[in-house]
């Protein structure tokens, strides 16, 4: 079994913000702001390692059925993150349904990729059915997002929750039990070590 090199594209599902807040006696919506710094730390880590592309599950159209203070809080945290990584040179693409739900109008310009740094795809107001329904007109709506090699999810859940179903078909799935605001670089180091040991067959 040959060891593999670095993943070319990693998906991140930063789950557990609300449970983290509740565990600290805070209102649920306060969890999201504590996810920004970890996000930036992980962004810098990916850049320095040389990962060419990452995708982040920010929020879905379904998430916008949550109570308004939560919606306001996760939207605000995602916007802050998007602005900051753009300032730091990310080649940003925002993937989501801008025709319904809560797609942020301020980010409409990122519906086409901007910049030439590390590719970062942020899923905002994303919905897997919306994504696949693009096939009716020729191709999935997330056609600018490449196939995923590795998906890392925080918060212990062992499911995709609608995350990029087409790009995920052959991805290796690594789970961190800690909640996202408790991110440590060691989580991703472990995920990469584990990834290198996986056999890649693609059905052959």
Could you say whether residue 183 binds a copy of itself (CB under 8 A)? no
Taking CB under 8 A as the binding criterion, the range among 30-38, 109-117, 129-137, 179-187 that sits at the site for a copy of itself is 129-137
| Contact residue for a copy of itself among 10, 16, 38, 63 (CB under 8 A) | 63
Nearer to a copy of itself (CB atom), residue 110 or residue 126 = 126
Told to check if 161 binds a copy of itself by CB under 8 A, we report yes
User: Minimal distance in Å, beta carbon 166 to a copy of itself?
Assistant: 7
Contact status: 173 vs a copy of itself (CB under 8 A): yes
Choice from 23, 89, 135, 184 touching a copy of itself (CB under 8 A): 135
98 near a copy of itself, rule: CB under 8 A: no
Residue with smaller CB distance to a copy of itself, 80 or 168: 168
Written in H, E and C, the secondary structure of the chain is CCCCCCCCEEEEECCCHHHHHHHCCCCHHHHHHHHHHHHHHHHHHHHHHCCCEEEEEEEECHHHHCCHHHHHHHHHHHHHHHHHHHHCCCEEEEECCCCCCCCCHHHHHHHCCECCCCEEEEEEEECHHHHHHHHHHCCCCCCCCCCCCEEEEECCCCCCCCCCCCCCCCCEEEEECCCHHHCCHHHHHHHHHHHHHCCCCCCC
166 binds a copy of itself (CB under 8 A): yes
Instruction: Indicate whether 130 belongs to the interface with a copy of itself (CB under 8 A).
Output: no
User: In the bound complex, what is the minimum distance in angstroms from residue 124's beta carbon to a copy of itself?
Assistant: 14
- For residue 120, which phi and psi values (nearest 5 degrees)? -125, 120
What's the min distance (Å) between Cβ of 89 and a copy of itself? 31
């Amino acid at each position: 079994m040959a060891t593999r090199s670095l993943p070319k594209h990693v998906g991140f599902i930063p789950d557990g913000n609300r449970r983290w807040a509740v565990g600290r006696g805070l209102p649920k919506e306060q969890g999201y702001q504590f996810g920004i710094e970890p996000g930036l730390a992980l962004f810098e880590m990916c850049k320095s390692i040389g990962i060419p592309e990452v995708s982040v599950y920010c929020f879905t159209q379904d998430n916008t059925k949550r109570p308004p203070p939560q919606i306001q809080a996760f939207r605000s945290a995602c916007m802050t993150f998007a602005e900051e990584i753009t300032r730091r040179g990310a080649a940003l693409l925002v993937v989501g349904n801008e025709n319904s739900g809560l797609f942020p109008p301020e980010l409409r310009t990122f519906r086409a990729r901007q910049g030439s740094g590390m590719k970062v795809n942020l899923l905002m107001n994303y919905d897997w059915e919306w994504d696949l329904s693009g096939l009716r007109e020729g191709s999935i709506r997330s056609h600018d997002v490449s196939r995923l090699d590795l998906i890392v999810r925080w918060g212990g859940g062992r499911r995709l929750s609608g995350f990029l179903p087409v790009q995920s078909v052959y991805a290796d799935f690594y789970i961190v039990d800690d909640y996202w605001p408790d991110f440590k670089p060691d989580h991703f180091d472990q995920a990469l070590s584990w990834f290198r040991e996986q056999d890649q067959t693609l059905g052959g």
